[in-house]
Structure 1
Amino acid sequence: MICALPMYPFPQDSLRVFWAALRASLQQAGVDGLPQKLSQPEDLLEHWQRGDLLLSQSCGYPVSTLLSGKVQVVGAFHFDVLGCRLSAYSSVLLVRKDEQRTSLPEFHDAVAVCNERHSQSGFHALRTAVASLARDGRFFSQVRFSGAHRRSAQMVANGEADIAALDCVSAFLLRQQEPAVFERLAAIGFTASMPGLPLITALGTSAAVLAQLRQALSECCQAQNQTPALHASLDAMCITGFSALDESDYRICAARAEQNTKDGLADW
Structure 2
Amino acid sequence: MTGNIAFPMYDVNPAATDTLAAAVLRHFPNARFQRPADLLSHWQDDNLLLSQTCGYPLMTALNEVQVVGCFHYTASGCEGINYRSRLVARQTEAGKRLDDFRGQVVACNSPDSQSGHHALRNSVGHDDTFFRSIVWTGSHRQSLSALQNGTADIAAIDGVSLALFARYQPQALKELTVVGETPLTPGLPLITSRHTSAQTLNALREVLREIAGEAEITAPLLIGGFSPASRRDYDVILKASSCV
Same-fold call, TM cutoff 0.5: yes
Amino acid in the other structure paired with 2:97: S
Alignment partner, residue 4 of structure 1 = 6
Alignment partner, residue 252 of structure 1 = 236
Deviation of 1:254 (Å): 1.7
**Identity, % of aligned pairs?**
39
Alignment partner, residue 67 of structure 1 = 62
Amino acid in the other structure paired with 2:137: S
Which residue of the other structure, out of 41, 49, 54, is the alignment partner of 1:54? 49
Quote the Cα distance in structure 1 between the aligned partners of 2:103 and 2:95: 12
Q: Which runs of 5+ in 1 are unaligned?
A: 263-268
| Distance 1:180-1:14 versus aligned 2 partners, 3 A rule | closer
Which residue of the other structure, out of 144, 147, 171, is the alignment partner of 2:135? 144
Quote the Cα distance in structure 2 between the aligned partners of 1:7 and 1:78: 14
Query: How do 1:224-235 and structure 2 match up within 5 A?
Result: 226=214, 231-235=215-219
Alignment partner, residue 165 of structure 2 = 174
Alignment partner, residue 84 of structure 1 = 78
CA contact (8 A) 2:94 2:177 kept: no
Matched, 1:34 2:31: yes
Deviation above 4 Å: which 4+ runs of structure 1? none
Alignment partner, residue 204 of structure 2 = 213
Matched, 1:43 2:38: yes
Deviation of 1:253 (Å): 1.2
CA contact (8 A) 2:211 2:217 kept: no
Quote the Cα distance in structure 2 between the aligned partners of 1:103 and 1:21: 42
CA contact (8 A) 2:94 2:179 kept: no
Quote the Cα distance in structure 1 between the aligned partners of 2:187 and 2:158: 10
Quote the Cα distance in structure 2 between the aligned partners of 1:209 and 1:146: 37
| Distance 1:100-1:53 versus aligned 2 partners, 3 A rule | closer
Alignment partner, residue 118 of structure 2 = 124
| Distance 1:100-1:244 versus aligned 2 partners, 3 A rule | closer
Which residue of the other structure, out of 92, 96, 104, is the alignment partner of 1:98? 92
1:157-187 Cα distance to aligned partner (Å, 9 max, x none): 1111000001000111122343233121100
Matched, 1:111 2:102: no
CA contact (8 A) 2:13 2:168 kept: no
Quote the Cα distance in structure 1 between the aligned partners of 2:216 and 2:203: 24
1:121-144 Cα distance to aligned partner (Å, 9 max, x none): 000000001117x4xx52011111
Quote the Cα distance in structure 1 between the aligned partners of 2:171 and 2:5: 33
CA contact (8 A) 2:4 2:50 kept: yes
Over alpha carbons, which structure has the higher Rg?
A: 1
Name the count of aligned residue pairs.
242
Q: Which runs of 5+ in 2 are unaligned?
A: none
Quote the Cα distance in structure 2 between the aligned partners of 1:191 and 1:117: 17
TM-score for both structures, normalised by structure 2: 0.94
1:185-226 Cα distance to aligned partner (Å, 9 max, x none): 10011101000000000011001100000010001112xxx3
- Tell me the secondary structure at the aligned position of residue 96 of structure 2: coil
- Tell me the secondary structure at the aligned position of residue 188 of structure 1: strand
| Distance 1:100-1:174 versus aligned 2 partners, 3 A rule | closer
Deviation of 1:100 (Å): 5.6
- Tell me the secondary structure at the aligned position of residue 131 of structure 1: coil
1:11-45 Cα distance to aligned partner (Å, 9 max, x none): 22222222222222x34xxxx6222xx20001111
- Tell me the secondary structure at the aligned position of residue 258 of structure 1: coil
Matched, 1:156 2:147: yes
- Tell me the secondary structure at the aligned position of residue 9 of structure 1: coil
Alignment partner, residue 25 of structure 2 = 23
Amino acid in the other structure paired with 1:59: C
